[in-house]
Amino acid sequence: MYRTLLFGLLVLVLLTACTTSQPSTTETAPSTSPQAPAQPSTSQEPVTLRVGWPGFPDTLNPAYAFLTESYTMFDYIYSTLATESQSGEYVGLLAESWDVSDDGLVWTFKLRPNVRWHNGEPLTAEQVVWNLNAFIQNPDGWVTNSGYVAGFVEARVVDETTIEIETEYPISNMAYRVSFLYIVYPPDFEGFATPAELQNFTNFNAIGSGPFKLASLDKDQRIIILETNGDYFDGHAKIDRVIYQTFDNSDAMIQALKVGDIDLIGEVPDSAFAAVSAFENVKAISLPGRSITELIINSAPADHDPKPNRNPALEDPQVRLAIATAIDKQDLVDVVLQGNGTPGVTIIPPTLGGGFWFNSDIQDVKFDLDEANRILEEAGYVKGSDGVRAKGNVRLEMRLQYASDQPNYPRTAGMIANWLAQIGIKATPESVDPDSLVVATNPNADYDLVIWGWGADPDPDFMLSVMTSSQYVEGGWSDSGYSNPEYDRLYLEQQKAIEPEERQKIVWKMQEMVFNDRPYIVLWYGNILQAYRSDHFTGFIESLLGIDSFQSLMNVEPVR
């Protein structure tokens, strides 16, 4: 029946299209535009890379940006003093080099000469300092910058190509911090008197000094066109234009790549990756990224307000150990991610800082159901007639919730529930919308086990902060409720440890504490899955920054 229907529909499509549209492909659609000639081949045609993505920036004003799409655009349009390189280290961008005073309180940045704004005006040290001081003095206005300038006192011009930043205390991750401080064109921003005025400014005609210029942005059609900045201070891209087009549906986006309507997809869903890999003229890329997925165990302090609502057995370290022992992470990676990831160990992914921050000394618990059963048996949890273990009146029966917006969580929850059932723990999977899950975990502390994830920051600081007790307040980022005064103390200490080796030692210690106490059982580190048309373009740089990073797009060239 369905086959007949399908055939009928296809006939209908054919009829409709034959009668209505002869010039059907988008590229050759009749148009008066000189940019889209019907016959390609002239060397005048601009080389255009077309990118499909699932969203659209909420703003191009770095003062107040929520969505990741905005930050993608910032990297193309604006420059920063330093930036993360393909290997995870920090390299200069507007700054050639930097140095810190012996007391760790004054940073000196040597600026590159001859940098120009997109409108041709020179970018001066005064303007950079104007930016930094605006962020420092007006944190209520420059909301999304404010965290990165915490502890900054003042920025000063030393000479035409040198600036200084004075800080209140030593700051261990200065290069990382300035890599998120996008330098904007001051005349566009000087007129705002109140935080609200600044925040309501979307700057959709942005002027920056980055490798690509904004040519046009249409927020109703959701199309962004970037042009190569020929005056960029560090060479320039070999393509002329980049077009970003929004797709609301990932199947449609993948189809667009397949038929060549777009050349690049920055985020291929796990479930579609195998199919995309098999497309003709498409290269699919799977690279270690920075995201982690974890099983959260309710670790809120007993005196938390409101009182934690959870299975009390979860407070028992042996029960936590048994759960960790009963999860086959490799199997999760193979089945759920279809191999596109690695089993997780600590809260810091191995890619941060090129592996510098990841504690490689930690030996993960080995998957062993017999051993998990033995641990529970020894801890006094006895199997009842229904196969569920209990100790006194505490039965090992619990909720296993997961965020409903992630397509691979239901499968994950099913597999974990199945393993737990084999060790006498009855875990009931339940899909919960992310908004409710936020409130259930923090501040309500009303959950047992939750599967969720983080797209970790390039610096270890953020992932470490998630486990501090000061984040377990309404609006804070802690969801486990983990509270450990020693850990909190180390967190502050690593922020001020200017010597990288010294900071590394503390960061490793903190990972070990979280690993042993298990507020999180880190399930896996996910890969970045991307794909591009290999018959159209070549030269993409494959790194944890993604093949759509500005460094990569500057290296891309058309296939001749």
- Judged by CB under 8 A, the chain residues 42 through 61 that form the site for other proteins are 50, 58-59
Reported as type and span, the H/E element at residue 145 is helix 143-146
Considering the complex, state which of residue 149 and residue 326 has its C-beta at the smaller distance from other proteins: 149
Distance (Å, whole) CA 95 – CA 233? 11
* Paired tokens of 441: 């975990």
How many residues bind to other proteins according to rule CB under 8 A? Answer: 80
Provide the mask over 432-471, with x wherever binding to other proteins is found by CB under 8 A and - wherever it is not. -xxxx-xx--------------xx-x----x--------x
| Three-class HEC string of 379-443 | CCCEECCCCCEEECCEECEEEEEEECCCCCHHHHHHHHHHHHHHCCCEEEEEEECHHHHHHHHCC
Interaction of residue 36 with other proteins, rule CB under 8 A = yes
Q: Examine residue 13 and tell whether it contacts other proteins (CB under 8 A).
A: yes
- Binding to other proteins (CB under 8 A) within 323-352 occurs at none
CA-CA distance, 195 to 153, in Å (whole number)?
A: 20
Measured between alpha carbons, how far is 423 from 375 in angstroms, rounded to an integer? 10
For position 39 contacting other proteins by CB under 8 A, the verdict is no
Least separation in angstroms between CB 261 and other proteins:
5
Stretch that binds other proteins, among 18-26, 113-121, 296-304, 539-547 (CB under 8 A): 18-26
Report whether 457 contacts 179 (CB < 8 A): no
Are 394 and 313 contacting, i.e. CB atoms less than 8 angstroms apart?
yes
Q: Which is nearer to other proteins, 165 or 254 (CB)?
A: 254
Residues in contact with other proteins, shown as a per-residue x/- string from 137 to 176 under the rule CB under 8 A: ---x--xx-xxx----------------------------
Nearest CB to other proteins, comparing residues 161 and 246:
246
Choosing from 40, 120, 191, 475, the residue that interacts with other proteins (CB under 8 A) is 475
Candidate residues 180, 182, 232, 358; the one interacting with other proteins per rule CB under 8 A: 180
Shorter beta-carbon distance to other proteins: residue 161 or 444: 444
Give CA separation, 273 vs 283, 287, 466, in Å: 11, 12, 31
- Give whichever of 142 and 487 is closer to other proteins, judged by the CB atom: 142
- Is 155 or 217 the residue whose CB approaches other proteins more closely? 217
Residue 452 beta carbon to other proteins: minimum distance, rounded to whole angstroms: 9
Closer CB to other proteins, 149 or 423, in the complex:
149
Q: Which two tokens stand for residue 192?
A: 């705002």
Does 31 contact other proteins by CB under 8 A?
Answer: yes
Residues 203-232 that bind other proteins (CB under 8 A): 216, 218-223, 225
The secondary structure of residue 233, as a DSSP letter, is B
At its nearest, how many Å lie between other proteins and the CB of residue 306?
16
Long-range contacts of 509-512 (CB under 8 A, 24+ apart): 510/464, 510/467, 511/346, 511/347, 511/348, 511/358, 511/359, 511/362, 512/346, 512/359, 512/361, 512/362
Separation of alpha carbons 333 and 347, rounded Å:
17
The distance of closest approach from Cβ of residue 392 to other proteins in the complex, given in angstroms and rounded to an integer, is 34
123 vs 467, which CB is nearer to other proteins? 467
Q: Which of residues 249-278 bind other proteins (CB under 8 A)?
A: 249, 251-253, 255-256, 258-259, 261
Smallest distance from other proteins to CB 314, Å: 23
* Residue 158: CB minimum distance to other proteins, A: 29
Judged by CB under 8 A, the chain residues 233 through 252 that form the site for other proteins are 243, 245-249, 251-252
488 near other proteins (CB under 8 A): no
If the CB atoms of residues 87 and 216 are measured against other proteins, the closer one turns out to be: 216
DSSP secondary structure letters along 468-494: SGGG-STT-S-SS----HHHHHHHHHH
CB of 36 to other proteins, least distance (A): 5
- Is residue 516 within 8 A of residue 535, CB to CB? The reply is no
**Is residue 10 within the footprint of other proteins (CB under 8 A)?**
yes
For other proteins, which is the closer residue by CB, 2 or 363? 2
Residue 355 neighbours by CB under 8 Å, 6+ apart:
88
Nearest to other proteins of 85, 255 (CB atom): 255
Q: What is the DSSP letter of 352?
A: G
β-pair partners for 282: 533
Give the nearest distance from C-beta 117 to other proteins in angstroms. Answer: 23
Nearest approach, Cβ of residue 549 and other proteins (Å): 19
HSE-CB at 442 with a 13 A cutoff on CA atoms is 20
Q: Are 357 and 543 within 8 A, CB to CB?
A: no
Under rule CB under 8 A, residue 379 binds other proteins: no
Subset of 63-82 contacting other proteins (CB under 8 A): 65-68
Closest CA to 513 of 472, 470, 469: 469
Residues 6+ apart with CB under 8 A from 203: 59, 60, 61, 184, 188
Closest CB to other proteins among residues 204, 356: 204
Tokens of 542: 């494959």
Compute the distance between CA of residue 369 and CA of residue 416 in angstroms, rounded to an integer. Answer: 12
